[in-house]
Structure 1
Amino acid sequence: MSDFSPGQRWISDGEAELGLGTVLSNDFRSVTILFSASQETRTYNTRQAPLTRVMFGSGDRVLSADGWKMIVDESRESQGLITYVGEDEHGNPRELPEAKLADTMQFDQARDRLLTGQVDRNDWFDLRFRTLHHFQRIERHPALGLSGPRIDLIPHQLYIADEVSRRHAPRVLLADEVGLGKTIEAGLILHRLLLNGRIERALILVPDSLTHQWLVELLRRFSLDVRLLNETQSQAHGLANPFETAQLVLASQDWLFANPHRQEQAEASQFDLLIVDEAHHLAWSEEESGASYQCVERLSSKIPGLLLLTATPEQMGLASHFARLRLLDPERYHDFARFKEEEQHYGEVAGAIDALERLPGDADAREAINAVVDDRDSQALLATLANPEADAAQHESARGQLREALLDRHGTGRVMFRNSRRHVGGFPERRLHRVSLEMPPAYRRVVRRLERDEDYLDELLIESEMDYPDVLIYPDAMYRALSNDPLNVEPWWHIDRRINWLLERLSDDGEEGFANDKVLIIAHHRDTALGLAEGLRVLGGIHAPVFHEGLSLIERDRAAAAFADEEDGSQVLVCSEIGSEGRNFQFCRHLVMFDLPQHPDQLEQRIGRLDRIGQKHAIELHVPTFAGSPGERLLRWYHEGMDAFSAPHGVGSDLFEAFGDALADALLDDDSLNEIIAETRTLFSARLAEQDAGRNRLLELNACRPVKAEAVIEAISELDHDTALPRYIERALDIFGVDSQELGAGIMHLQPSPQMLDGLPGLVKGEEGFSATFDRARALSRDDIQRLSWEHPLTREMMGRILDGTMGNTALALLRHPAISSGRLMAELVFRTHCPAPRSLHLNRFLPPTAVRVLLDESGANLTGKISFTGLSQNLQKVNKSLARDLIKSRHDQLRELLTQGESEAECELPSIIEAGEKRMREQLDGELARLQALAEHNPAVRDVEIDALSRERQALSDAMEVTRLRLDSVRVIITADPKGR
């Protein structure tokens, strides 16, 4: 147990990058240390504190908080605090209390370990140097944060992730159509922000049915350890705030929205990023907002970053869409009427972008573009593009720059990303199979009476306690509700011919049958799904798991897993409507819609469970209806009125708002239905034309810019094929004590050896370990295989353990060479740049820890440029530790001199390193700042807070780089010996 006193200076053994710490307070149990340079505070147990007291001796150089330097002659201690006595750089006698030491100073562990005879293995020293080299290279790489996740390299997903994750506290709406990968985009953004230090904590709110799916996706694809929080776990923490128990918290929206106390705790937890899935369920209107919306609104006002996910941003109409944007930026989106007016002008901008392709020869095109550009730069580009004497390269360059300017400066594209299948391409064909069946007598009896007697509908609604038009569309539900009817004596599934049709298809191995395929069946009501499964079991001996809202999360996952298992899984999965949100069943190609939902967006969500990126087959959509029934009429409206089964069109909400009530009234009248279908088709065509010309066209163009997307993919591919990674992993695994066995086909199995160092991710002594590969495609094809990359937790952990600890920071070796006489000494010194700065600045993208190697012989001659690190290492031999300690002891004074000289040699390299880092920073941030300032004059979606934050970040980075220092990272002593061993 150490004696602590306020004002003493200590450094963290495991987090040396925090800088010099000051004791704030202590008692017999704990001590609190402030690391001012890094803006961090830590509290440690006094009996187990991983801390080292900073105490300098004669000859050591120290730096004061005021910037002057001193060489220590002696020190004196009073009441636990040290005062250093010596001379400053001008030879003046000075005293320096330890409390006045500069916070940016680092305790030089390598020097002290060496001079006390503590040396490590040579291969540890080699690995440390290579780790520092690779870490410096990877931290500056443009693909950092995007290359590690287990995903396909899909352009629109990577473009969005790259664009959004570059922003300070991003607040965006991810609104890609169903199946285009919004969850992957959100995971990529989260992963990169965490990896580069932009954020530290995130809260993820998803529908209850999707919590486990998100948990598995974040772990499997992104290797993110997320805490799933519910009421049981919250109560287990007693009075403590359960949201403070993890870095990443995943919670059910249903649970949190219904619990004001837990909401208050979440608001007080200082998250950096909030992710909300299925955000279209947040109810809002100009008159009032729902409890769910109010909860997210309060959270988003306290949490800097916000990602809203929805495939149907306008499911509840334009006002609902405005409500999402209002959460992202309440200052920008505060007036609904003004927002609607802006929407009307997007067609002009989209038309101008399309007109770019018709220049230079089309005068009308130039006029259309001229109407929407008003700045000097854009006018100059337009003049170049319209100039017939400019060459093709000049035209193409001007066209590209002008397109980028128009996309940047207009519309909601900066806060909303929406890709459509039409824009992305590569999706399978959808095939509609309409099946008309004879209506059961019990159903027909009710429908015929409804057609004859207008008053009977009111009686039916009262008697069945069902809503309108559910009572017409879902005859099985109506049948169940009228259980008191003496004629309704059999279970509905016993009389419903859709069950018989299903059983026939499931046993048919012909072209029309399902016998050899997986089949997903979706019904609107839970009771329908349960009865359907019972009917399949009783009438056909088919055991089908059921997925519905009444199941627990584990039961739902079990049902989905049973369906997904290719070898022993169920052929059929029966879902209630809840099965149409969030779940991915792209391994299946047959979808049976046992009935139809009322809203077009719900229909699209159903189809989207199968029709996703990665689907390799045409989607077979089977819709059994009863001839002459309201359900058949609803099918006609979907198919003939809006072509709903062929592809997502994004206008279903508008059409339902326009015709939903009239459609409900026409479900018993073919003549009225024909009129509504005709009117729907007319409006459908008009809305598609508006989309092509207006905001959706702009959003599509902005949501994936191919040139930038391709650059991101190229950067990721460069790391994917980095030949240094396998060599580095092999060396590191050997040193950390992990056995690696080649299994063939590029797969290896990693297993802990008895000598393995503890604490490696996925590797626990006594357990089997895991299989892994470096190949992205192979990892994607096998869920049981992990993909090793520079970002994999195992790689990051090994690199972190090396760089943050003392492993390999000292070594001694023998060099046998005929050209060098024996008994001579060399010192190989590796210095590392150190710049204490808040992690959120992500300083490493411009100035990561950088190695400066200095090789000196015993005369002080600098041999760095003559002998490479690799060339020297290959000719070194190990020395046992007892002999190494004796050799170091005998050359103590000589080593001190070489350490001092080496520091002076390395310091000569520091200015150029800092200058290069500042240049990289200026090139990127100055350009981005100028771009944002220019955009803000045209596009109000560019927030002032974003520009201010970027300006402050630039200044903070510049200030941090100015105090960059070098510290000795590692040192290897080399003794020459007779090559013949004499």
Structure 2
Amino acid sequence: MADYDLVGVEVTHEDPDPLLKRSEEKESGEHLHTVQALRLEAGQPDSELRSLKKLDDESVKLLEHQVDAAYRALFEMDGKALLADEVGLGKTIEVGMILKEMHYRATDDSVLVLTPAQLAKQWQGELLEKFGLDFVCNYDDEFDGFDSHDHIIASIDTAKSDRYRETVLERDWNVLVLDEAHYVKNEETDRYDLIDALTYDYAFFLTATPIQNELTDLYNIISLLRPGLFGSRDAFHHYFVNNSQETLVNREELQDRLNRVMIRNKRAETDIDFTERNIDTRTFETTCEERQLYEAVSDYVRGAYSEDQGQKLVLMLLQKEVVSSPAALEQTIEKRLHEQSELTHADELESILDLIENIETVTKQDRLLDIVEEAREHVEMGRVIVFTQFRATQREILDRLATEGYTTHAFHGGHSSQEKEGIVANFEEEGGVLVSTDAMSEGRNLQFCNIMVNYDLPWNPMKVEQRIGRIHRIGQKREVYVFNMALENTIEEYVLDRLYHKIDLFQQTVGELSAILTRLEDSSTSFEDEIFERLVEADSEITLENDFDAMAVDLQEQQDLAEKLEEFNNGVFEGFDLGASDD
């Protein structure tokens, strides 16, 4: 039976072994009609990605391996491909090119992009800024459901939820994009069932780790994308895996089948040369007043949590704010007292407000001036990006810097898209200090700056890496300097010294961090949750130190497993020519 590529050109394949005969049952006449009509509409054979000339070179710099991957996925793989490049090679860019080309050819009437929750907004920003593709995200205020928009980016867990699942499955999607496709490796999960039940014409799956535990992972992912390519699961194991399931057999046949659906580029085979990343962590002794405030907040958090664990989110917020700024802490406490007149322990919160009033010197502000002054003396236009999690802290920093005569720029989620573009442009043109909330940490390219300060530290290393990724990315030509600020003998210092530095999390990429944190995600316990639990349950400083040491050991074991996984992936694909063939 003949296959057809995206433009209706007939492609013939040799019949596979009968045991693994490829299934064509899901190729519908409607799909063939669509791609053939597209070819007629185009009016000429396809030999290039014609939409590339429409892209702004300043928005996105396309690399050769990315262009090749997009072309192969569209025109050599019938519009159904697994993009399995190693971490950091720009799989999102490859999908952006694919979607741009399909938009150019008017084959993107309905597009669904499914991602992990923490990456949805980043995808939205990247597709808009680099490719001019406007998608609504399920986290946007204007999102009205999966039947109300034609171009949607959503977390896969939102799509599979009871609230939305039926609506998602009722639509016939032109294009499905699935990021971090290894999340559907287990056929017994709701995520797998959702993808298996979806109706779509074209699909592009992304993962740097197509095999996480065993070859069945690869089988499950590809069987969702190309049903029947490997036959039944039993046939796959019988034909490609020996009885011990530790080594492969019939490698050439496996390679042939993978080459029909999978593209895998390796860092060593590209011309990308990432600049060096330098991490400078600076811890500072608190004033007596700051120490009193920190201990009072910590005592309150422990006591309140022991009585009512439902307060977890607000208590966690207080613990983060006390090492960020008195202003951020004050704002939250005053709001809490105002909104809950019957609040338990209100007297304690009033006492904390009194301690805030006693603070005359904010240590972090003073020390931040040292860093930005260094930059003003040694860096072009003195450009520095300062990240904080809190708007109140941001306002204090901006006021202090302005008082000291620095050119400042504010960036936060309250700005419109147009305002954000103007802020970034002004920062590039005028230099100075950009003080941003984490609204900047995803979807922005700021390679014209190479110095960043973490004024306060997210407890999730993934969020820290997303911050760093604004300046340390493809296109950065200078060494990158990241300064982390922390107050001594606080939760910040524990997170920095006992967790981040012990296993060198600052040198990991987003993809590598995702692999390291998988165990916590699978157990429904976030990295931040585990830090908070250890903080509130420790009955002494020694216990707290031991608890964080144990957590570091857990993370190190997870990192070792992630490295073994990478070695296993490379071993499976050893010797495979997963790029374009020479003929």
The unaligned stretches of length 5 or more in structure 2 are 1-31, 35-42, 115-119, 335-348, 521-526
Deviation at 1:614, TM superposition (A): 0.9
Tell me, yes or no, if structure 1 residue 141 matches structure 2 residue 47.
Answer: yes
Give, in whole Å, the separation in 2 of the partners of 1:479 and 1:301: 46
Conserved? CA contact 2:108–2:174, under 8 Å: yes
2:455 aligned to 594, 618, 623, which one?
Answer: 594
Amino acid at match of 1:172: L
Could you say which residue in structure 2 is the equivalent of 1:444? Answer: 291
Larger radius of gyration: 1
Is 1:372 the equivalent of 2:278? no
- Selected match of 1:479 from 324, 329, 333: 329
SS at match of 1:694: helix
SS at match of 1:272: strand
**CA 1:257 to 1:457, structure 2 compared with 1: closer, same or farther past 3 Å?**
same
Partner Cα separation in structure 2 for residue 492 and residue 424 of structure 1: 56
Partner SS state of residue 544, structure 1: strand
**2:109: which partner in 1?**
201
User: Corresponding residue for 2:16?
Assistant: none
Alpha-carbon separation, structure 1, partners of 2:479 and 2:241: 37
User: Which residue identity does 2:204 align to in structure 1?
Assistant: L
| Deviating more after overlay: 431-440 vs 596-605 | 596-605
Equivalence for 1:499? 365
SS in 2 for 1:426: coil
Q: Who is 1:214 aligned against?
A: 127
1:598 to 1:218, Cα distance in 2 relative to 1, 3 A: same
Report the CA distance shift for 1:557/1:675 in structure 2 as closer, same or farther (over 3 A): same
Q: Give 2:200's aligned residue.
A: 303
Matches within 5 A, 1:79-228: 139=45, 141=47, 149=55, 150=57, 152=61, 154-165=63-74, 166-172=76-82, 177-178=87-88, 180-193=89-102, 199=107, 201-205=109-113, 207=120, 211=124, 213-219=126-132
Counterpart amino acid of residue 372 in structure 1: L
Deviation at 1:450, TM superposition (A): 8.4
Displacement of 1:630: 1.5
1:687 to 2:561 alignment: yes
Listed as ranges, the matches of 1:251-330 within 5 Å are: 251=152, 253=154, 270-275=172-177, 289=190, 297=195, 301-308=198-205, 328=225
CA distance in 2, matches of 1:442, 1:343: 67
Cα separation, 1, equivalents of 2:310 and 2:287: 21
Residues of 2 paired with 1:563 and 1:232: CA distance?
24
Tell me how far apart the structure 2 counterparts of residues 157 and 189 of structure 1 sit (CA, whole Å): 10
**CA-to-partner distance for each residue in 1:415-468, whole Å, 9 max, x for gaps?**
575755897641010000111112254552255468999964736987975467
Offset, 1:690: 1.1
TM superposition shift of 1:643: 1.4
TM-score, normalization: structure 2? 0.64
Distance 1:700 1:618, change over 3 A: farther
Structure-1 separation of matches of 2:270 and 2:565 = 12
Pair 1:451–1:565, CA change in 2 (3 A)? closer
The one-letter amino acid paired with 1:501 is R
Give secondary structure in 2 for the equivalent of 1:273.
strand
Deviation of residue 625 (structure 1)? 0.6
- Give the 3 Å change call, closer, same or farther, for CA 159–592 of structure 1 in structure 2: same
For residues 373 and 319 of structure 1, the distance between their equivalents in structure 2, rounded to whole angstroms, comes to 15
Q: Deviations over 1:588-624 (max 9, x none)?
A: 2112122223333333222222221111111111101
Which amino acid counterpart does residue 553 of structure 2 have in structure 1? E
Aligned residue in 1 for 2:13: none
CA distance in 2, matches of 1:579, 1:444: 31
| C-alpha RMSD of the superposition | 5.7
Task: Write the mapping of 1:705-744 to structure 2, written as runs, cut at 5 A.
Answer: 705=579
Q: 1:204 to 1:671 in 2, by over 3 A?
A: closer
Name the CA distance, whole Å, in 1 between partners of 2:217 and 2:167. Answer: 28
User: Which of 244, 247, 250 matches 2:151?
Assistant: 250
Change (3 A) 1:258 1:569: farther
**Cα distance between partner residues in 1 of 2:211 and 2:460:** 12
Letter in 1 for 2:464: L
Structure 1 residues 685, 251: closer, same or farther in 2, change over 3 A? closer
Deviations 1:742-773 (A, max 9, x none): xxxxxxxxxxxxxxxxxxxxxxxxxxxxxxxx
In the aligned structure 2, how far is the partner of 1:232 from the partner of 1:623? 33
Deviations along 1:869-919, one digit per CA (max 9) or x if unpaired, are xxxxxxxxxxxxxxxxxxxxxxxxxxxxxxxxxxxxxxxxxxxxxxxxxxx
The yes-or-no answer on 1:576 pairing with 2:452 is: no
Partner Cα distance (1:495, 1:413) in 2: 64
What is the one-letter code of the residue matched to 1:516? M
Residue equivalent to 2:21: none
Alpha carbons of structure 1 residues 306 and 628: separation in structure 2 relative to 1, 3 Å: same
Matches within 5 A, 1:521-540: 521-525=386-390, 528-529=393-394, 532-533=397-398, 536-537=401-402
How far apart, CA to CA, are the structure 2 residues paired with 1:153 and 1:702?
A: 25
**Using a 3 Å threshold, how does the CA distance of structure 1 residues 406 and 617 change in structure 2: closer, same or farther?**
farther
In structure 1, the partner of 2:550 is 676
Amino acid at match of 1:683: E
Which residue identity is paired with 2:154?
Answer: Q
Secondary structure of the residue that 1:433 maps to in structure 2?
A: strand
Out of 590, 605, 608, the residue aligned to residue 469 of structure 2 is 608
**1:217-266 Cα deviation digits (max 9, x unpaired):** 224xxxx7x6879999999xxxxx865xxxxx434538x96999998887
CA deviations over 1:280-337 (Å, ceiling 9, x no partner)? 9x999988758xx98x748x7111222355789999xx9999998786468899999x
CA contact (8 A) 1:590 1:621 kept: yes
Higher strand share: 1
| 1:201 partner SS | coil
Deviation at 1:156, TM superposition (A): 2.9
Q: Secondary structure at the match of 1:485?
A: helix
Indicate which of 429, 434, 439 corresponds to 2:281: 434
* Inter-CA distance 542–278: structure 2 relative to 1 (3 Å threshold): farther
One-letter amino acid of the structure 2 residue matched with residue 672 of structure 1: N
1:212 to 1:473, Cα distance in 2 relative to 1, 3 A: closer
Counterpart check, 1:628 vs 2:489? yes
**What's the counterpart of residue 3 of structure 2?**
none
C-alpha distance 308-440 of structure 1, shift in aligned 2 (>3 A)? farther
Decide whether the 8 Å contact of 1:157 with 1:181 is kept in 2.
yes
List aligned pairs for 1:740-755, cutoff 5 A: none
Q: Is the 8 A contact 2:175 2:201 kept in 1?
A: yes
Instruction: Flag the structure with more relative contact order, 1 or 2, with Cα contacts below 8 A and sequence separation at least 6.
Output: 1
Determine if contact 1:348/1:694 at 8 Å carries over to the other structure.
no
Which residue identity lines up with residue 373 of structure 1 in the other structure?
V
Could you give the per-residue CA deviations for residues 14-44 of structure 1, whole angstroms, max 9, x where no partner exists? Answer: xxxxxxxxxxxxxxxxxxxxxxxx969xxxx
* Residues 556 and 696 (structure 1), Cα distance of their counterparts in 2 relative to 1, 3 Å cut: farther
Q: Answer yes or no: is the 8 Å Cα contact 1:215–1:228 preserved in 2.
A: no
Aligned mates of 2:379, 2:573 — CA distance in 1:
39
Shift of 1:631: 0.8
1:555: which partner in 2? 416
Letter in 2 for 1:203: V
Separation (CA, whole Å) in 1 of partners of 2:289 and 2:433: 28
Q: Secondary structure at the match of 1:641?
A: coil
Paired residue total: 496
Contact 1:642 1:684 in 2 (8 A): no
Change over 3 Å in CA distance of 1:642–1:418 after alignment to 2: farther
